[in-house]
Every structure is written in C-alpha cells, then in structure tokens.
A and B are shown apart, each in its own frame.
Chain A
Amino acid sequence: MTTHRDETAMTTTSGPACCDELAQATRLSRRRLIQGMAAAGATGVATSLFGDAFRQTAFAGQPGGNVLVVLSLRGGIDGLGVVVPHGDPGYYTARPRIAVPRESLVAQDGFFGLHPAMQPLEWLWSAGELAAVHAVGLPVPNRSHFSAMEEIEDADTGSDARRGWVNRMIGLTGTTDPTTGIHLSTAAMPTLIAGPTPTIAVDRVSQVAMIGADKADEWSRRRRKALGTMWRGKSALGPAYRSAAATVDKMAPLARTPYTPTVAYPTGGAANDLSEALRDTAQLIKADLGTEVVSIDYGTWDLHSDYGTLEWGDMQNLIAGFAKALDAFMRDLGPLRSRVTVVTISEFGRRLMENGNGGLDHGWGNMMLVAGGGVRGGAYYGAWPGLGTGREADADLRVTTDYRNVLGEVLARRFPDRSLASVFPGVTYAPRGVML
C-alpha cells in the first residue's frame, strides 16, 4: 500500500474537505452552502447525473416487499470510535486524547463496545436487531474521498459505465418505476443510485410535485391535459416527461399528505437532517409504493480536527444525532421493521493514530452497522486484524472483509432473486453470517 497521502481533489459541494488545514473552513462552507440552498428554496429536485433509459412499459416495484435503507456516512467516519475495540491496547496507545474509555461503552462484549452516544440504539442491540461488522472496506486503500466514494458506490471496477450498485440491483427486475430507488436528503444524486434504471433524488418527499399541477383541482387537470398534448409524439425528452408524470402520479398524493409518525422524531441539532430523511422514509415505507431502496446521506465525518471527547466535539455530537434519529425511525416503523434493513457505509475509515490537532486523518478499514429485518443482531462480526502497537504514524485498520460482502449478504438474504454476480461483479461471495 502507498504511504504518502494522496488526497485527490474534490469539491466542497460533493463532500467534506480533504486537508487538515481545510477541514474546519470547508466543513463550515458545506454547511453554509446547504443552508444557502435551503434558504433559497431551490434544492427541490436534482437532475440525474447519469443516463436514464426508459422502456415503453413501466414495471413497478412490488408492494409488501423488503426495503433496504442505505445510510452513507460521508467524509469517512471513524469506525474505531463508533465500534470501539477496547480489547486492543493499540487503540488506547494511539489515541491518548480522544480514545473512548472502556467503562463508558455500551453493548460491550469482551473486545468491542459501542460509543456511549449510541445508547438510544441499545434496545435494538439487545433485541438482536442491530449488528456491527468491523475491519470492512475497499480491498485496496484509497484515501481520496472523491475516488473512494466513486469506487465504493460504483462497485464494478471492471466497467467504465457510470452505474451504481443500487441502480444495478433494482434494475435486475426490469423496473422502470423511478420510485423503486429513491435518494433523500440531498438534491444531488449520488453514484450508488445513478444509472440507466430511472431513480429519483429529492431533499424531501414533499418536493416531488409538478409545479402548476400539484393540487387535485381543475387547473391541475387542465395543465396535465395540455402537457399531454404538447409532449405527444416522439422527442428526445418525451420519455422523461412521461416518466416524470408517472412519478408525480405515484408520489404526489403522498407528498401532499401530512405524515403523522407514531413517535416524535428529534428535531434540530445534529439529528435534524437525518431525522427528516428517515421520517420521509417511514412515510414511504408505510405508503408501500414498492420502493426497494432508500438512500440517505448523513453527516460530514471528515474530522481532521474537532473530533473531541465524550464531553465535547463533533464526533459525539454526530453519533448522538445519528443514534437518536435512527432510534425514532425504528420505533416509528414498529412491526414493519421486519421488512426493513438499514445498513451504513462510508468511503474509508480513519487513521489509527490521532494527529496533532486531536483529529484523525484519512485511513482505510472501517465498520458497518446493520439493523432491522433479517439481522442476526446483538453481535460483532468480522475478522479482527489487530492494531499493532498503536505507535505507527501511518497505521490503518486493515481491511479483512470486503464491504461488498456485507452488502452482498444483506442482498442475498433480503432480495434473494437478485444475482449477486450482477450487482457486485468479480466478488467471491463470503458471507460473515450477519444475516439470518
């Protein structure tokens, strides 16, 4: 592996900053950018970044089926700080200022434990509905946010086609219904869901609406009729119009209906954005439109500095936001949880040793959390590679489980009709037993 720090260029709009010097400034910028967009009320609907192909016949997703929720923890979450290997002394040696003390950990076993801010999810762990896999990631280190995200989300190194694994997965049934795969929380469509099978990316479900035709009234009816007249016949955008009309027909009633969850979701603070996205996800799942995958971005985990301790800092704040929002979502789903599996993913883990700013630079191995239906929860999975002495400056957590095998296991169990070889070409399937 390379030891020099090769941090490929990326933009503040697509993800957090790369360099120590920049971490704070650009993290702020991204927040402000997003707020700026929200204030402008202009984040409505994203454009697909990639080619959408349409067929004449639309096949919808099947109601009552299983749902996968993919939470992308962007910026590279520190897996060692979420699923803490308290049994490995290297961890404490490497992080004199920011290590999470063993006695504070929840859901402890003899070797691992969860960050105390994960406490809201402890009930899921105890109920066997939450599991963690450690030392997962890309087979070869890639410390560039940009290209690591591309690699993880495209997940098909043998092909030039810009197509994400979720897009391949939902496309296997021949669906042309854009509500089969939905990205919430940002207007930009991430690679994992983008590709020739139509998908949709919106901030909020309430924004799936056709302007001027978004009410059940005469004017909306007239407009739709007029648009039908205008778009009759063949044109390059004709199929896109018809697909948009179909999406709106399917989702607009939902978008117009105020949703009353069965529990209160946390608002404000670090939980807010994830809370909103998960609330919409619960609404979608309950509406049972046949959605198979919901993708959500959460957090800016690129903590080169301001990582903090249990008392202060971005790490505990973000984890708490994550745990509270996910807790509300899982409770809100109630018995429907048996149909819904949540999985987290991040482009890379962080360096073992803390840096001069009490933060962590880009590393390699990470953890993944799997929760909900079909999970063999209450346990830690994976092969622990050991952390060395904890004094090696460039040491990373080594990857012993290809992330595609975690996703692959979830798919194999929850969507058994999908060919893993098609979703993750070239991967030798080796499940870790995370799923029932």
Chain B
Amino acid sequence: MARKVNPYPDTKVPTAQQRHFMNRLGCGYSRSTFKAMRKAGSPEAWFEKQLRPEKVKEAKLARKLPYWYGEARTDSPVTKWSKQAQQVKGGWEYALDLANYSLLRRIHSERQVLENLVDFWSNHLHVGASSDLGWVHRWSYDETIRRHALGRFDEMLADAALHPSMLLFLDNWRSVRGAPNENQGRELLELHTVGRAAGYTEQMVKDSAKILSGWTVDAFKTWDRFYDPAKHTTGPVQVLGFTAGNTSADAQETTKDYLRYLAHHPATAHNIARKLAVRFVSDTPSTRLVNDLAKVFRKSGTDIKATMRALVAHPEFKKSKGNLVRTPLDDFVATARALDIRVLKPAGDDAFARVASWAVQSTPAYHWPRPDGSPWGGAQWTSPARMLGSFRMHWNLGAGWWPSKGVKYKDGAAFLPEKQIRLDAWVDHLCREILGRESSPRIVDAVCTTVGYGGGEKVTKDHQAAGWMFVRILGVLLDSPDHMHR
C-alpha cells in the first residue's frame, strides 16, 4: 500500500544544493551547519567563507577538544617513548587519541571544509598513527598537515616529507651512506607526487633515495630530526627532469629543490587532481574534470584553495549529487552529526572521547595498515561486512547503547516537535532533522512496516514508537541509501 507523505513544514529543510555542499565539502549534514549555511546566504558563500577557517568562528566545544587529549598533544617524543617502555601508555593508545580527536573535530568543528581536507591530505601523505616508530611524532605531523591543508601543496610536501614522523614511518632515518633505504624515495614518487604513470625507472627510485639520505632522526634518544652528512650518499642524480651533481655531503638544499620540482611536476598535478575529483565528485571522474583541475593546480603554483574553488565551480560537481559511498568513518561522523550527538569531556577510559574509534566498526582514522592511505573510491567500501558493521554502528549511536559514557544522546521524546503528532508527520520531521530532506512515500511506508502502525497513529512521548521502537525507526532512516551515500 502506497503511503502518503504528510509534510511537517515547520522544520526547515536544506535545498538539495545546500545538502550537497554539506555532505561533500563538509563532514556531513547537521542542523548547525545548515544554520551557518543559511546565515552565509548561499552554499557558495558558505564554502568561500570556509576556505578561510581562521575567519570561521569555532564552536565552543571544538575549541576545548585539544585539551581533552593533553598527553598526546603535549608529551614530548621522549616522554611518549618512555611511557610506552614503562607500560604506562602505549603507542597504540597515543595513536587512538589522535584518531578519536580527529573524529570529534569532524563531528563538532564549524570549520567543516578544513576538517574534510585534513582527512584528505592525511591520507594522501599517509603516516600510520600507530606505526612502529613514527607514532612518537604523529601528533605534530597532524598539526603540519592542518597548517597546510588549505594552503599550498609544495609547502605541505616539503614539511611533510622531511617531518620526523614520515622519516621514521618510511625508514629514511635508517639510510646510511652508500646504501640508502629506498622506502621513502619510492613512496615519495609513487604515492605522494608523480605516481607510477610518470614512468620513472628503478634507477630513479635509487636516486630519489640518494637525495633523501642524510635526513634522519635521533631515534631512541632525543627523537629530534637532524641532518647527518655522514649518512648522505653523494654522486650525480637524475629523477625525471630533475638533475643534480650532488657532490656535497650536505644536500639539504638539493632535497628542497627536488621536493619543489616534484610538487610542481605535471604528473603530480594530474595525480592530485584525480584524487580530489574522486573524493569530491565521482568514482570515475571525467578526463575533462581532471585536466581542468590539474591545470588550475599547476597555474596557481599548487594552491589548494584555487583548486578547490575550481572543483566546486565545475559543472560536474553540481551534477554529481548523492551517489558517492560514505566510507565507514565518514558514516560514523555523519551519523553523530545527524543525530545531534554531543560529546562531553571524558571522565574515564570508557568515555565516548576515548573509545569513539571502536564504535566506527572499521579501521580507525589514520590507522590504515599500508603506506597508501585509506582509499576513497566507493568500490572499496561495498562489502557485505561493511554494511553489517555500519548498521551496528547506526544502532549503537541511535539507541545510545555504546559508547554510553561521556556523551549526550537525544532520545525519541527529544525528537518530538509537539506533544502529540501523527506518525507520518513525525517521520517527515525526523527526515528533515536527521537526513536533511523531506520524507518520501517509500520511507513512510518502511517506517510503518517497521513499527506496525498506520500513518495516522498519534505519537506522544509515552508512545512506544518514541520509546523502545525509536531505534527501529532510526534504523530505517540511517541504514538506508539516503544516509549511506553522500
């Protein structure tokens, strides 16, 4: 039986375009971001404002977040290492702090585009948060990415590639004269800049490692990064169009020239343009879109803002609404935002702010086990196991089952706009509040099937639909294509 929509217009609902901007460019629709967007005048104006995050007034709660992770933020690498050795706090716990902190920022920050791009660049220039040695510097690496996420790629690359966290993660610190470790030299080309399609040779990989050799870390002691000429391998190098005599044991300037060369290489522009297009537009972006973005990226001197502006202004961006798959992490953040969950200052080890990453039902943020960073493409996240895991996550958050401490959930009664309301009107209100869209006959039908009441059923706070059944209603809204795509 076809059900009818019973509109509840008192609850304002974003336009498709507004929702598109929140879901793609931000970390998901929420009532507060919707409000900010209306205040800005248009989605485009909101986006333009978001590109200068320092001008966006940060949410009070988001400003407090760094203080909830004091140890991870302020312990020196020496302290971190010794706490791990003494079994006071393990590297994996520091790593989870960063993952949890990142999730909470995405949920609560008003600087939504920045948070999204921090995620993007952190995965592009991936350093595993719990990697064997890199974890001791991983918080500071995150700050580096944050600083450049809306800046210039050439500057971000220079700081990231030579950051101690990266040097530790990809073994460059182990390089010795005459036998440089090729790990970072290779990934710098393959993952971080030009990509394999650029056609570099194995000899170029070796030369890349040669150039990077000398950049090391005083591991197990001060953990400071330093340049050790005794570890640098000299001799002429050639990588694609970059050549250097590399005669001096001090090749710091050569390294910087090399990184600048790679950042501005056309293949890098193409690589990054494609990644941005996959993240923000389509699993299979058109050649035209990629070329257009690559051109802006290069012409602007690797300016990320300019590239993002071009992406948002591109007709393909506007046309691409709604059929990208949310990753499990995106899904978690979007769910917390949709349900208007309020995370509280953590009081114990089981508080939301301490265990949020386990609730994701997938790999925690920045814990991707390989150097290539967590993938974006929809096909990567379409396994049956992912569906069951995300459903479980929706219910845990929807019902407030877990995490249950250090968080404020809204129950069914809190979602009632009036003391008494028809079920079909309530469904429309819930869709507007939680999904940022009006209800459809399909969703009204599915909710009625789920709870076993007709659309005319009168719901009050004491009705079981607003009580134990409420999570089953949320299950219809959240375990759905409407919520799990962006």
Contact = CB atoms under 8 A, between A and B. Distances in A.
A37 B379 CA distance: 26
A211 B168 CA distance: 41
Nearest to B379: A51
A247 interface: yes
B92 interface: yes
Interface string A341-368: 0000000000000000000000000000
Report the contact-size class of chain B (Cβ under 8 Å from the partner): 35 or more
B485 A236 contact: yes
Contacts of A219: 472
Interface in B145-188: 168-171, 174, 176, 179, 181-183
Contacts of A400: none
Given A12-B132, A26-B132, A211 B392 contact: yes
A230 B479 contact: yes
A210 interface: yes
Interface string A232-271: 1001111111011011100000000000000000000000
A231 B388 contact: no
B131 A9 contact: yes
A50 interface: yes
Nearest to B327: A47
B362 A11 contact: no
A7 B171 contact: yes
A51 B382 contact: yes
Contacts of B220: 21
A247 B132 contact: no
B74 to A, nearest CB: 21
6 contacts: A9-B134, A13-B92, A13-B367, A13-B369, A47-B386, A178-B384
B13 interface: no
A47 B449 contact: no
B57 interface: no
B85 A244 contact: no
A11 B170 CA distance: 11
A423 interface: no
Contact of A240 (B370, B377, B383, B476): B383
Interface in A363-413: none
B402 interface: yes
A230 B383 contact: no
Contact of A9 (B87, B132, B476): B132
A124 interface: no
Given A33-B90, A237-B481, 14 more contacts: A4-B179, A6-B183, A9-B170, A12-B91, A13-B130, A21-B220, A28-B90, A45-B361, A48-B380, A226-B449, A236-B323, A236-B378, A243-B383, A244-B384
B371 interface: yes
A154 to B, nearest CB: 12
B386 A211 contact: no
B195 to A, nearest CB: 11
A236 B309 CA distance: 27
Interface string A206-219: 00111110000001
A236 B134 CA distance: 36
B68 interface: no
B328 A47 contact: yes
Nearest to B380: A51
Contacts of B323: 235-236
Contact of B392 (A4, A9, A44): A44
A127 interface: no
Interface string A41-65: 1101111111111100000000000
A198 to B, nearest CB: 6
A11 B450 contact: no
Interface in B285-299: none
Contact of B449 (A13, A37, A225): A225
B475 A212 contact: yes
Interface string B368-397: 011100000111111111111101100100
Contacts of A232: 442
Contacts of A229: 442, 445-446, 449
Given A17-B132, A26-B132, A6 B358 contact: no
B355 A47 contact: no
B140 to A, nearest CB: 17
A14 to B, nearest CB: 3
Given A45-B361, A211-B392, A222 B379 contact: no
Interface string B121-157: 0000000101111100000000000000000000000
Interface string A28-44: 11101100110011101
A212 B171 contact: no
B471 interface: yes
Contacts of A54: 382
B472 A212 contact: yes
B359 interface: yes
A232 B449 CA distance: 15
A52 B442 contact: no
A355 B87 CA distance: 24
B480 A230 contact: yes
Nearest to B128: A11
Contact of B369 (A10, A28, A227, A238): A10
B258 to A, nearest CB: 21
A44 B383 contact: no
Contacts of A13: 92, 130, 363, 367, 369
A42 B380 contact: no
B72 interface: no
B325 A237 contact: yes
B442 to A, nearest CB: 6
Contacts of A208: 388
B115 to A, nearest CB: 22
Nearest to B181: A6
A172 interface: no
Contacts of B134: 9
A146 B176 CA distance: 21
Contacts of A70: none
B84 A42 contact: no
B452 interface: yes
A380 B451 CA distance: 63
A99 interface: no
B104 interface: no
B443 interface: yes
8 A-B pairs closest in CB distance: A48-B383, A14-B369, A244-B384, A42-B358, A51-B379, A244-B387, A226-B446, A240-B382
B338 interface: no
Nearest to B452: A222
Contacts of B131: 9-12
Contact of B183 (A9, A51, A189): A9
A225 B472 CA distance: 12
B385 A32 contact: no
B232 to A, nearest CB: 16
A29 B183 contact: no
Nearest to B385: A45
Contact of B391 (A11, A22, A210): A210
Given A223-B472, A243-B384, A28 B87 contact: yes
B277 interface: no
Contact of B371 (A9, A26, A46): A9
Contacts of A243: 383-384, 387
A8 interface: yes
B484 interface: yes
B407 to A, nearest CB: 14
B276 to A, nearest CB: 19
A47 B385 contact: yes
Chain A CB count within 10 A is highest, among B168, B183, B328, for: B183
Nearest to B475: A212
